[in-house]
A and B are shown apart, each in its own frame.
Chain A
Amino acid sequence: MKRSDRITAVVILTAMALVAVTWIVMHRTRGTVAVVRVDGRVVATVDLTLREPQTLHITGVLGPLVIAVDGKGSIRVTESTCTDRICVHTVPARSPGDQIICVPNRMVITVEGKGTGIDALAQ
């Protein structure tokens, strides 16, 4: 193999590697995370793949909310001062697209991440 051929090969490989890296960076997907929003503003982001349980204390529009992450991939609301307590009774969220909503507190927990491949959830 000529020296020039080797250089050509290196250049081509480098270019391919660059394209590959760009591709991966652009299409990078996060693991499963729960995003907690109050009035549309993100107040907490929790990695649901972490193994240790944790408790979040956040302030909704109405009052304080306690959110529990069980360390097994689920998140739920354990305490809220709202009257209907729909949020507390909602099934724990764990899959991308799952939501827990507290309208009086204007609080939404949304599980985001790859997995279901759906565009929207009819519910």
Chain B
Amino acid sequence: MRKAIAPIVALIVVGAGLATFFALRASPEPVTSTYFLMDTVLTVKTTGGDATAINEHLHALASGVDSMTSYYKSESETVRVNTAAGRGPVSVSPEYAALLKAAMAVETIDHGETFDIAIAPVSSLWGFSTKDFRVPAAKEISDTLAYSHSDQLTIADSTVQIRDSRARIDLGGVAKGYSLDVMEEYLHTVTPQPRQVIVDFGGNLLLYSGGQKHDWKIGIRDPRGQGIIGYVRSGDAFVATSGDYERYFERDGTRYCHIIDPSTGYPGTLNQSVTVITGMEPMQGAIGDALGKVFFCSTAETQHSLFPAAQNQGAIGIVIVDAAGTRSTLGPITFVPTTDQ
């Protein structure tokens, strides 16, 4: 009988060894990198593949988008277009023209009432570009608002022209989402493929698992505290959130957030946060980012009536926390609230 034990022992030892080996091999450690750009934080968490190199490359791609779209950097295409306001057409790169067109396409779903890339002069009045915050006089706002609309823009194939010399454009509302588009396009071409990449760019997410069809659990931040109010599930996606809780200032007990409602010239007050989920199609990162602003500056009724148009643009689902803190969703997504302890 003794002889019978040896093979059993050998089998168990080899089995345990193999199990451990495959378990370790199956779960490579994620590599997390943090970068600072566009006045916020970019965190990339890559599991599998050449993770460190992927993280570095994603950062470089975001820096490229920043250099192209920045409202402040003197060599950016935005600054070139703005400096030529009132003077004539400026030639822009095909990428820049495509981004402008995507942003303008979102504007058209409600005629620029809730999102307008040309609202920049009004945002500047409030001090959001200099962080020298103030509440402007009503007259100042209405005078500035008169020329702060994208109907000031003429976009041809490769040129952009701003007619009024005082008008300005700012792509800050789509630049983070667009960066995620550029990253996603690159990730598809990488070999060996990473198993998972989670990009968090100032709270805007890219969730990538390539062909693995991962079922992601996306936490929705509590807009009036830390922690989450619940989560939604999704496959690979872009997730864009517009909230009133990150960039804002307070005067005499009133909160003024950085998202200016282009129909009034005042900061949006209808919602606390809006999270838009879009799928992995070209430009969906930028479009989701812009749709976030549209729904942030909309009433519940408008949100419902605009949702079919948003779906046509690519929106899968939207999670909304309104000004009273009431939560709702649009589209075929299930929001699972956190049970209060």
Contact = CB atoms under 8 A, between A and B. Distances in A.
Contact of B8 (A11, A95, A108): A11
A12 B16 CA distance: 11
B5 A11 contact: yes
A24 interface: no
Contacts of A108: 34, 41, 43
A116 B219 contact: yes
B264 to A, nearest CB: 25
Nearest to A4: B1
Interface stretch (A46-54, A64-72, A97-105): A97-105
Contacts of B1: 2, 4
Interface in A1-28: 2, 4, 7-8, 11-12, 15, 18-19, 22-23, 26
Contacts of B12: 11-12, 15
A4 B205 CA distance: 59
Interface stretch (B17-25, B108-116, B187-195, B294-302): B17-25
Interface string A23-60: 10010000000000101100000000000000000000
A123 B207 contact: no
B182 to A, nearest CB: 19
Contacts of B19: 19
Interface in B222-250: 225-228, 231, 239, 241, 243, 246-247
B8 A4 contact: no
A12 to B, nearest CB: 7
A8 B23 CA distance: 26
Contacts of A122: 203, 205, 218-221, 239, 241, 275, 319
B243 A123 contact: yes
A120 B218 contact: yes
Interface in A91-116: 91-95, 97-99, 101, 103, 106, 108, 116
A83 B80 CA distance: 29
B39 A19 contact: no
A26 B16 contact: no
Contact of B241 (A39, A95, A106, A123): A123
Interface residues of A, number: 38
B219 A83 contact: no
A115 B8 CA distance: 40
B219 A121 contact: yes
B226 A95 contact: yes
Nearest to A101: B41
Nearest to A95: B227
B5 to A, nearest CB: 6
B218 A118 contact: yes
Nearest to B9: A11
Contacts of A2: 1
A119 B216 contact: yes
A110 B99 CA distance: 33
User: 5 nearest interchain CB pairs?
Assistant: A123-B221, A118-B219, A123-B203, A4-B1, A95-B227
Given A11-B8, A22-B16, A116-B227, 12 more contacts: A4-B2, A12-B8, A18-B16, A86-B247, A95-B227, A98-B227, A108-B41, A116-B231, A118-B217, A118-B231, A119-B216, A120-B205
